[in-house]
Copies of this chain bind each other. A is one copy, B any other.
Amino acid sequence: MSVRNIDTKEEILRIGKQFIQYYGYNAFSYADIARELNIKNAAVHYHFRGKEDLLMALVDNYIENYQLLAKQLQNSKMGAIGKLDKFIEPYTNLCETDSICIIGSIASDYNTLPESVKSKITSLIDLVLNMVEQTLLEGKKKGEIHFLESARTQALLIMTNLAAGVQLARISGKKDYNIIRKALIKQLKS
């Protein structure tokens, strides 16, 4: 049935996302996804011709989600700190499952990825950085937050703190991540 089809495709994306963030792109197989969903290897190939296509779809998915978040933040009456919390929240959730963000995961495997993915991931990073940059700029203008660097530089600092923060949390635990997260916010407030 058509409904079942859509469900399975979505499920594959869901599991694929999980695996990329938990194991990394090179460390899971279509067989792993199939096992998780109680279907066969070949069924996964039906929905996504190859692993490369699955990864592309996943990146597209993230781009869509961040485009949505960027719009929500733009139209929201929330303060800058509240908006940044919205951005930080997913990283905190990743820590709970010993997972890392997709950008960090892809960056680590970058030199083994097909060109198609390499060029697409740049858009995702641009999108995220611009969103944080705009939030920072707006918050500074309103006097809600303070920082000395350019908004772009500050966005880079925050993003790298979070990306490597969740990676570190895997090894030394959530404590270090939380220290980083709190310090970030504290610095912007003071």
Give A contacts to B, CB under 8 Å.
Answer: 22-24, 26-27, 98, 100, 103-112, 118, 121-122, 125, 148-149, 152-153, 156-157, 159-165, 167-168, 170-172, 176, 179-180, 183, 186-187, 190
Q: Are the CB atoms of B164 and A180 closer together than 8 Å?
A: no
Copy count, this protein chain: 2
Q: Are the CB atoms of B156 and A179 closer together than 8 Å?
A: yes
Minimum Cβ distance to chain B for residue A53 (Å): 19
Q: List 24 A-B contacts (CB under 8 A).
A: A23-B109, A23-B111, A24-B26, A27-B109, A27-B111, A98-B110, A98-B111, A103-B171, A104-B104, A104-B108, A104-B164, A106-B171, A107-B164, A107-B167, A107-B168, A108-B167, A125-B168, A148-B187, A149-B183, A157-B161, A157-B183, A160-B162, A160-B163, A160-B168
List of B residues within 8 angstroms of A98 by Cβ:
110-111
Of the candidates B105, B125, B163, which one forms a contact with A172 in the assembled complex, judged by CB atoms under 8 Å apart? B125
Question: Which of A105, A165, A167, A179: most chain B CB closer than 10 A?
Answer: A167
Q: Determine the distance from Cα of A171 to Cα of B156 in the docked complex, in whole angstroms.
A: 13
Of the candidates B106, B122, B163, B171, which one forms a contact with A125 in the assembled complex, judged by CB atoms under 8 Å apart? B171
List of B residues within 8 angstroms of A152 by Cβ:
179
